Structure formats: structure tokens, C-alpha cells
Structure 1
Amino acid sequence: MKKEFAVIGLGRFGGSICRELIAQGMEVLAIDIDEERVNEYSEIATYAVIADTTDEAVLKNLGIRNFEHVIVAIGDNIQASILTTIILKELGVERITVKAQNDYHEKVLRKIGADQVVHPERDMGVRIVTNLVSNNVLDYLELSNEYSIVELIAGIKMDGKTLLELDIRAKYGVNIVAIKRNEEILVSPQAEEKIKKGDVLVVIGAYQDINRLEKKMSEE
């Protein structure tokens, strides 16, 4: 089933989150107080609305509590960011991720109950989304617009099978460059190496190919 997200604030960071969630097949409600930004995302997001999220009645009318995850990506208005987060918590939103402007802002956000606080200058939108929507991805590093390195957790279907049997390179066009097993790291593992459930596979390849592999692993 598709996860449902709401993104509040459609600036550079919020827009990146919105676009990547849609690219990964999620349902997204895009919200901003600026009409021009909302119009820009009206054909990108599942829904796009103009709204002042510091107004509790507005958020209630949007049915915000029904969304599994709300990302507060409000720009320079720290007060609006904090007020919005407080209201979301009071309305019982399941998970809230908030963009922080600085360390002091982060401290306040954590004290009022934000589940995750991110700093855009340190965390790219794509990296954050990858962790939000997947149970298999531990970490993500973008090498270029097309290629990435990702850490994936091996599931039960891979348990006891060799790399040769799995034939991941031929099926998905990606390469397993290392395997992390407890404290051990196997670099350039051989074809006869057996995968164990819980192994962390360090995979390199094109973003779309890695995404296909990850989706297959999520079906386990």
C-alpha cells in the first residue's frame, strides 16, 4: 500500500522532499501559504493546497491527523515552524519530521515532540526520503545524478544463498561491493559467499536499478 505524506512548506527543501516522494510512488499532500508555490506543485503532488498551518482549524479541516507522516519544511519563519509542530502533535499525527534552521531551533523542536529533526545543509532531501519510505535502506549516498551507494538489509529470501545464486548484477544491474556482518566487513565478496539474514549489503549502481532491487527486497 502507498504511504500517505503531507509536506508543509514548498521551498527548496520541501519541494525536493515532495518531488522525491512522488517519484517513489507515495501519496503526497503539498501545503504552503504562498499561492505561487502551491500552483507550481499542483501538477506534481497528489494534492496541493494553500493553507496557514499555524491555524489549528485549518489543519483539522485538511484531515492532517490521517496522514502517516508529516514533514514540516517551513523556511525562515521559525515561529510558524514551531507552532505548526505543536498543533500537529496535539492533533495526534503519527510521525512528524521537521526542518531546523539552527541548533537552538532543533532543541525546541525536540522538546515539543518532533520525531525527527533534519538540517537541510547536512541532509539531502533524497537521502531523507529514502530512509522515510523504506524498511530495508540503512544509508544512502548520492554519487551523481544517476549513481548512488546504498546500504540494504538482507531479508529471509536471501538467507543461505550465494551471490552467484542471487545473480543480482545480471537481474538488477547493480554491484555488491561489500557485506557488513556484525563487526566484520567483507570487501569485494566472492561469488560463492553466502548471504545471511541481517547482513548489510553495500550496493552501488544507478538509482533506478537500486530502487528496483530495494522494492523487491521489501516484498519479502
Structure 2
Amino acid sequence: MKKQFAVIGLGRFGGSICRALTEEGMDVLAIDMNEDRVNEFSMIASHAVVGDTTDESVLKSLGIRNFDHVIVAIGDDIQSSILTTLMLKELGVNKITVKAQNDYHEKVLLKIGADHVVHPERDMGRRIAHNIVSNNVLDYLELSDEHSIVEIIASERIDGKSILDMDVRARYGLNIVAIKRGNDINVSPQADESIQKGDILIVIGADSDISRFERKILG
């Protein structure tokens, strides 16, 4: 069975999630206080309604507790975001993801029961900054405050060397979980796998160790 999602708040963040879930074939209920936004998404989401989600009766009338996952993407109104999250939790929603405006907002959301809190602007800023600073990094995904997964282009310095030759795990505490070469991808490569210049290494580990690896091995 298809999962049922509800997206509350149809600004840039909520709207993009709504579109992406719909493109994946999911059932999506789109909710916003702004009638123009709701009209825009009426042809995109499975259902789109105007509603004040700080009103418990509105949430009950929408059958919100029956949805598998509710995403609270309310923009600058922190109070509405917190009240909506609290009501969703009290109504027994299975999984709640909420957009936070700042660290204080996140702490409150986690205390009242949000399952997952995201900082889209902050995280994208870090991602772009990391890519700008390093010539070798293609993409960057933050797993926690200190750990990430990165896509790193293999430089000429490690052309022809194997994972064993570089001793990546012992020397840097990192794991190369996959190697992309053209259209091919080698998941969980063997230690004797030879790396070629231009390969894309998918590396997981602590940010400090990744930076050290970039400096010493990739140049």
C-alpha cells in the first residue's frame, strides 16, 4: 500500500516536499492557511485544503492521525509550528518531521515529541560552503554535527593505488563505501580495488578525518 503523507505549510520548503512526494507516487494531503497556495497545489497533491492546524478540531476533521507521516513545514511562525507539532503528537500521529528556524526552536520541538527536525537553510548553507572550500568534494551530506558522507574526486596523487595501499581506515578512520567510475558503481569495494584518477569515492566518517584525508591524500 502507498504511504500517506500530510504536508503542513506550502512555502518553498513544504511545497518542494509536496511536489517530490507526489512525483514518487505517494498520496499527499497539502495544508496551508493561504488559499492561493492551496489552489496552486490542488492540481499537484492528492488533496489540498485550507486549514488552521493549530485548531485541534481541524486536524481531527482531516483524519490526521491516519497519516503515516506528517511534515510540518510552517515558515516563520514558530508558535504555530510548535502548537501544530504538539497537537499532532497528542492525536497520535505515527511520525512527525518538522522544519526548525533555529536551535532553540529545535530543542522545543524535540521535547514535545517531534521525531525528526530539519534545518534546510542551515544545512544547505553548510553543504554549499563545504563544496566551495574543497576542489575535490562533489557533494556533502551531513549525518550529524561531526559526521558526514561525501563524494570526493580521486586526484592524480592516488591514481593506481588501492584502498589497502592508502590504508584509509587505519590511518584516517574513514570507510570508502562505494566507488563510482563513469556509469558503474562498485558498492563495498574490496581492499585491493585499484583507484583511477577521476573516480568518485563515496566516503563516510568524521568531518575532521575527511578534511585530513583530503589534504594529505588528494592534495
TM-score, scaled relative to structure 1 = 0.60
Q: CA RMSD in A?
A: 2.9
For residue 121 of structure 2, what is the amino acid of its counterpart?
E
What is the rounded CA distance, in whole Å, between the counterparts of 1:185 and 1:63 in structure 2?
Answer: 55
Asked if residue 17 in structure 1 is aligned to residue 26 in structure 2, the reply is no
Asked if residue 57 in structure 1 is aligned to residue 74 in structure 2, the reply is no
Q: Deviations over 1:122-166 (max 9, x none)?
A: 456xxxxxxxxxxxxxxx969xxxxxx99xxxxxxxxxxxxxxxx
Superposed displacement of residue 68, structure 1: 0.3
Mapping 1:18-37, distance limit 5 Å: 18-37=18-37
Superposed displacement of residue 179, structure 1: 2.2
What is the rounded CA distance, in whole Å, between the counterparts of 2:117 and 2:106 in structure 1?
Answer: 6
Change (3 A) 1:175 1:43: same
Q: Deviations over 1:35-92 (max 9, x none)?
A: 0100010000010000000000000000000000000000000000000000000000
Asked if residue 176 in structure 1 is aligned to residue 185 in structure 2, the reply is yes
Change (3 A) 1:88 1:178: same
The question of whether the paired residues in 2 share the 8 Å contact of 1:177 and 1:187 is answered with no
Q: Which residue of 1 aligns with 2:39?
A: 39
What is the rounded CA distance, in whole Å, between the counterparts of 2:195 and 2:185 in structure 1?
Answer: 7
Change (3 A) 1:28 1:175: same
Asked if residue 86 in structure 1 is aligned to residue 95 in structure 2, the reply is no
- Secondary structure at 2:93 match in 1: coil
For residue 105 of structure 1, what is the amino acid of its counterpart?
H
For residue 185 of structure 2, what is the amino acid of its counterpart?
I
Superposed displacement of residue 2, structure 1: 1.1
The question of whether the paired residues in 2 share the 8 Å contact of 1:178 and 1:186 is answered with no
Unmatched tracts of structure 1, length 5 or more: 125-139, 143-148, 151-168, 190-200, 203-220
Q: Deviations over 1:188-207 (max 9, x none)?
A: 59xxxxxxxxxxx96xxxxx
Unmatched tracts of structure 2, length 5 or more: 125-138, 142-149, 152-179, 203-219
Q: Which residue of 1 aligns with 2:144?
A: none
Q: Which residue of 2 aligns with 1:208?
A: none
Superposed displacement of residue 22, structure 1: 0.7
Q: Deviations over 1:81-113 (max 9, x none)?
A: 000000000000000000000000000000001
What is the rounded CA distance, in whole Å, between the counterparts of 1:186 and 1:108 in structure 2?
Answer: 47
What is the rounded CA distance, in whole Å, between the counterparts of 2:8 and 2:94 in structure 1?
Answer: 15
What is the rounded CA distance, in whole Å, between the counterparts of 2:113 and 2:26 in structure 1?
Answer: 25
TM-score, scaled relative to structure 2 = 0.60
The question of whether the paired residues in 2 share the 8 Å contact of 1:100 and 1:117 is answered with yes
Structure 1 runs of 4+ aligned residues shifted over 4 Å read 184-189
Change (3 A) 1:114 1:186: farther
Change (3 A) 1:104 1:178: same
